[in-house]
Amino acid sequence: MASATENQWLKGRVKAVTSGDCLVITALTHNRPGAPPEKTITLSSLMAPKMARRGGRDEPFAWESKEFLRKLCIGKEVAFKVDYKVEAIAGREFGSVFLGNQNLAKLVVQNGWAKVREQGQQNQGKVSPYITELLQLQELAKQEGFGCFSKVPGAAEASIRDLPPSAIGDAGGFDAMGLLAANKGKPMEGIVEQVRDGSTIRVYLLPEFQFVQVFVAGIQSPSMGRRNANGNVVETVPDESNGDAPAGESRGPLTSAQRLAASAAASSVEVSADPFAAEAKYFTEHRVLSRDVRIVLEGVDKFNNLIGSVHYSDGEAVKDLGLELVENGLAKYVEWSANMMEEEAKRKLKAAELQCKKDRVKMWASYVPPATNSKALHDQNFTGKVVEVVSGDCVVVADDAIPYGSPAAERRVNLSSIRCPKMGNPRREEKPAPYAREAREFLRQRLIGKQVIVQMEYSRKVTPAEGATTTGAADRVMDFGSVFIPSPAKGDTEEVAVASAISGSQPAGVNVAELLLSRGFGNVVRHRDFEERSNHYDALLAAESRALSGKKGIHSAKEAPAMHITDLTVAAAKKAKDFLPSLQRIRRIPAVVEYVLSGHRCKLYIPKLTCSVAFAFSGVRCPGRGEPFSDEAISVMRRRIMQRDVEIEVETVDRTGTFLGSMWEGRTNVATVLLEAGLAKMQTSFGADRIVEAHILEQAERTAKNQKLKIWENYVEGQEVTNGSTTVETRQKETLKVAVTEVLGGGRFYVQSVGDQRIASIQNQLASLSVKDAPILGSFNPKRGDIVLAQFSLDNSWNRAMIVNAPREAIQSPDEKLEVFYIDYGNQEFVPYSAIRPVDPSVSSAPGLAQLCRLAYIKVPSLEEDFGPEAGEYLHTVTLGSGKEFKAVIEERDTSGGKAKGQGTGTEFAVTLIAVDEEISVNAAMLQEGIARMEKRRRFEHKDKQAVLDALEKYQEEARKARTGIWQYGDVESDDEDTAPARKPAGGRR
């Protein structure tokens, strides 16, 4: 506020009323930062009754006088001018104050709440300009008996408050715990006498006039400073009386509020205030100082200070002071005092602080969020059917957008922001935590096989140190989302609110996480600031609060129901045989499929006998692990029976303890599903008469054979594979439709599977990426084995690549070269650092699409050997150069491939490569051209392989006779690799 000279009218707002004749007025506008300037004005020529001081009593009508002026003008805009100053009492300023067109001094005198000080000898000239009118009004008030001139007998004595010790400076005997016990949770009326800082106020609690200090619960504003080191209280505030004190009269002791005010003033000089402390203090003063408030006590700290929520009126609305401070960036959330509050109030404070941090409001302007291992996921919502409930907070959902039966369709979804009891790991002898089985079973009954809507929200990188993976495991990324049931059961809709499809981004249906929490099967994760969380976090907290109130599940005092399950899958086979008579006697037994081990084998839980068993379909076999169509058979069974209620009929038990028999899901014999899809075959060497519904199974197999499905793809009453121009009988082999993407030396090349859904998915992901500028040197240092984005030199396209070789030291120049291997194509080249970018884990986690192959049964010279360049050129011409698609018949799989340059990192396929429009294979053509030769034949080969080798040998013999290529100088001498080691001579004499 600009310096006020006498007789200059100014405008301001009444911030506080300290007595019946004294006001604190703040400026309406100001240019400097922080709180606006203020001025204390005592109404000229008036003398109101004095309030009680330390150890004293009120003068009659002192409280009523102050209350009249407070209710009349607090928070209102006024006009005022300084009439005169009295230097003898610290330069106190006396003035005239107008509320609208009404003179406050006249209103006070007219109602009898102050007396007019007559002009004395020592104050000549220092009187109110309205002294005559004031004297007249005083006479009228006396005549009418208004205010302190009351003529009612005993009125003066009745107006003197009976003050407790705390109100007159003696807080030693104040019982904070007793006050809390009597009033916890109840709103208490009060008037704020002083604001120490933004989150600490001193209040008169009505009607007993207890003078207490209250810390606003759950928050803390910036500090205004501290006391002097010696702890002295500096009593320098002016006296409350008007005019000069008579000479020789000792000044009365300070009130409690004055002492505390003086103490705060002294401490602020000694220790500077925190940033935004003054602004926070003014924010609180502007709203509650000298105003009626309601305080809800929450607790007491160890220093006997009261902790409470402070509510004030703003027009018709009632507001929470703590929440307002936090929302305006003038206070921070404090966990220890927030724990005294209700969950809803805590949640609002925490959410408000987080929003201020994000928006960098006031005290959070320079806030730097801590590093987090979570990352938001956008536009990754999908629909599908639940295949598996892994635990109470993790499900596997088959994406509807990916063809049925494809292993790639299954997506593991961890429920966002909740944590359920762990299932444990039987292999490590870890038992399920209390309520873990109940939580999983609760979800199984509601979700398995049901259509759901999945809203992916964030991913989190989990390190081995967090205990989520086994020792030595690499970091892995977990995806989190919310799962909604579009058509929930009636009981579930009563327990949690069903979202409307119109309600923003939330899909229609019941949130599964909310349902779990409301039953007491989990807890809400308390995320750190800026850590990604569920989009429906508030609803989850509310559901958890309901379960806590109802003492449900893990929140109850009861112990979890004990379950003792006999696991025959880890017991000796003899124990399984002991159970056989019981299972045979029951005939059709209800069971639950716990896990699908292979296409025809699974693990079952039998509730009636409380045991888990290994079970296999009698007389039906699927391809084994690693064989063609094995993964697809497992995927189909997972979609069909995983964690479903089934019925079984046990025939016998094998020597490993696996029970053999038939299984029905509903009315369907499950084995027919595999047989009809061409993913299994009948195996009835022991006779089909003991198999239940054997005729149905045989009919299903016959249907698949006639349609040449999957394993019967080349079946013609004796399956066939073309190698060369000769048709030979052979065992069923996996055949892939491929395109060659890169040719290496020695008959090796990379292919991509034509029609693979992953190719389009990864291409779409790469196309959607926004490739930013080259990273700053030092911010990104790729190491050998890292997956990155690299720009291919021939077409400048960005592709996934693995770092093959990188400098050991930090990158010094953007032109520094790194060797990369394009995992989706098989190319390898050196690229500059400026052409490499880091890649999102969601893109890099998918395995490479390029498959390393070599031509089966033949040896092709390497590029360093004679005719090696010619062989490489020929293979390049007939594959990459032709642009054709090929059929690759997998003859063998070599899993010993390492990380040698150009050799890939996974299994190598030995294939017979046949162009779709050619009669003979590329293998046979290279033998015919004399640029390859056959591998050395072993003495004992399978008859199918012998037939293939005989057919190929005809083409080699043709080139040898014509002296073509490597045969131009006659027979090629076998190298060491093809020669068996020399046999040692027998011992003994010669």
* Percentage of the chain modeled with pLDDT above 70: 84
- Cα 406 to Cα 153, 409, 600, 639, 929: the distances in Å are 98, 6, 17, 10, 41
**CB environment 324-363: b (16+ within 10 A), e (fewer):** bbbbbbbbbbbeebbebbeeebbbbbbbbbbebbeeebbb
pLDDT tier, 256 (very low <50, low <70, confident <90, very high otherwise): very low
Kindly report, residue by residue over 488-515, the tens digit of the pLDDT.
766 666 566 554 433 445 667 889 999 9
Instruction: Please tell me the number of Cα atoms within 13 Å of 853 on its side-chain side.
Output: 32
Choose among 145, 77, 68: nearest CA to 107.
68
Q: What is the mean pLDDT of residues 768-795?
A: 82
CA torsion through residues 330, 335, 340, 345, sign: positive
Task: Show the tokens assigned to 224.
Answer: 């205004």
Q: What is the mean pLDDT of residues 889-913?
A: 71
**Which stretch of DSSP H or E encloses residue 575?**
helix 573-586
Q: Does the pLDDT at position 268 exceed 90?
A: no
Residue 470: Cβ within 10 Å count? 10
CA 763 – CA 798 distance, rounded (Å): 10
Q: What is the pLDDT of residue 393?
A: 92
- Axis-axis angle for helices 537-550, 343-359 (nearest 10): 160
Q: What is the mean pLDDT of residues 334-341?
A: 88
CA torsion through residues 38, 40, 44, 47, sign: positive
Choose among 187, 206, 405: nearest CA to 297.
187
Question: Do the Cβ atoms of 476 and 469 come closer than 8 Å?
Answer: yes
* Percentage of the chain modeled with pLDDT above 90: 31
Q: Does the pLDDT at position 255 exceed 60?
A: no
Kindly report, residue by residue over 111-143, the tens digit of the pLDDT.
999 999 876 644 667 888 898 899 999 999 999
Q: Does the pLDDT at position 42 exceed 90?
A: yes
Q: What is the pLDDT of residue 192?
A: 93
Q: Does the pLDDT at position 983 exceed 70?
A: no
User: What one-letter code names the amino acid at 96?
Assistant: S
Q: Where are the alpha helices (DSSP H) in 879-930?
A: 922-928
Choose among 93, 87, 66: nearest CA to 12.
93
Choose among 177, 173, 161, 192: nearest CA to 261.
192
Task: Show the tokens assigned to 159.
Answer: 């107006």
Q: Is 56 helix (H, G, I), strand (E, B) or coil?
A: coil
Q: What is the pLDDT of residue 489?
A: 67
- Residues contacting 933, CB < 8 A, separation 6+: 858, 859, 927, 956, 966, 972
pLDDT tier, 693 (very low <50, low <70, confident <90, very high otherwise): confident
Find which of 230-234, 684-688, 753-757 is predicted with most confidence, using mean pLDDT: 753-757
Task: Show the tokens assigned to 202.
Answer: 């001193």
Bigger pLDDT: 985 or 35?
A: 35
135 secondary structure, DSSP code: H
CB neighbour class for 53 (10 Å; exposed up to 12, middle 13-18, buried from 19): buried
Range with the poorest average pLDDT among 312-316, 658-662, 943-947: 943-947
CA 91 to chain centre: 61
Question: Do the Cβ atoms of 706 and 676 come closer than 8 Å?
Answer: no
Q: Does the pLDDT at position 887 exceed 50?
A: yes
Q: What is the pLDDT of residue 140?
A: 93
pTM of the model: 0.52
Question: Do the Cβ atoms of 825 and 739 come closer than 8 Å?
Answer: no
Question: Do the Cβ atoms of 174 and 210 come closer than 8 Å?
Answer: yes
Kindly report, residue by residue over 720-742, the tens digit of the pLDDT.
433 343 333 345 678 888 999 99
Kindly report, residue by residue over 144-187, the tens digit of the pLDDT.
999 999 989 988 888 888 888 877 767 677 788 888 888 888 89
Tell me whether strands 92-99 and 38-43 are parallel, antiparallel or unpaired: parallel
Q: Is 196 helix (H, G, I), strand (E, B) or coil?
A: strand
Choose among 553, 539, 552: nearest CA to 510.
539
**How does the average pLDDT of the chain come out, rounded?**
82
pLDDT tier, 394 (very low <50, low <70, confident <90, very high otherwise): very high
Residue reference for tokens 């966002």: 416
Strands, E assignment, 430-469: 451-462
Question: Do the Cβ atoms of 967 and 959 come closer than 8 Å?
Answer: yes
Q: Is 632 helix (H, G, I), strand (E, B) or coil?
A: helix
Residue 932: Cβ within 10 Å count? 31
CA 424 to chain centre: 23
Kindly report, residue by residue over 828-858, the tens digit of the pLDDT.
999 998 888 888 887 888 888 899 999 999 9
Q: Is 190 helix (H, G, I), strand (E, B) or coil?
A: strand
- Cα 594 to Cα 138, 454, 671, 896: the distances in Å are 94, 23, 17, 34
User: What one-letter code names the amino acid at 752?
Assistant: Q
Range with the poorest average pLDDT among 34-38, 160-164, 576-580, 729-733: 729-733
Question: Do the Cβ atoms of 434 and 554 come closer than 8 Å?
Answer: yes
123 secondary structure, DSSP code: G
Residue reference for tokens 């006031």: 362
CA 874 – CA 887 distance, rounded (Å): 18
